[in-house]
Amino acid sequence: MVAMVGAARRQFKGEIADELYAALVRCGMEDQILAEPQPNPKLAGLTGGYLYAKATALAAAVRVDEALAAQWQFEAAWKNADVVLTAAAF
């Protein structure tokens, strides 16, 4: 999960992930994150932010197996994406 920190500031296939998910994670709004529908998978940045937030929310709720599954989904998407760091990530 450490490698995922700041994912919302990275470009994910040319899209910038939505800050909404990062804000929900920072505010500890696990229930709201888990109630959010998954975005269209074609929107890679949004999907990456969503999967990061979902994994974090599940881990906070001590739903370990589900959190690991969401983390693996995120990592698989990350590995298959062209990732470029923005200046804001530094």
Q: Where are the domains of the chain?
A: 19-85
Greatest mean pLDDT among 18-22, 46-50, 81-85: 46-50
Could you give the CA distance from residue 65 to residue 13 in angstroms, rounded to a whole number? Answer: 28
More confident residue, 89 or 61: 61
Average pLDDT over residues 30-37: 90
Sorted by sequence, the CB contacts under 8 Å of residue 74 that are 6+ apart come out as 4, 7, 48, 51, 52, 55
**Share above pLDDT 70 across residues of the chain, in percent, rounded to a whole number:** 68
Q: What is the mean pLDDT of the chain?
A: 74
CA distances from 11 to 20, 63, 65, 89 (A): 15, 29, 28, 10
8 A C-beta contact, residue 50 and residue 57:
no
Predicted pLDDT of residue 17? 53
Predicted pLDDT of residue 82? 58
Could you give the CA distance from residue 12 to residue 75 in angstroms, rounded to a whole number? Answer: 12
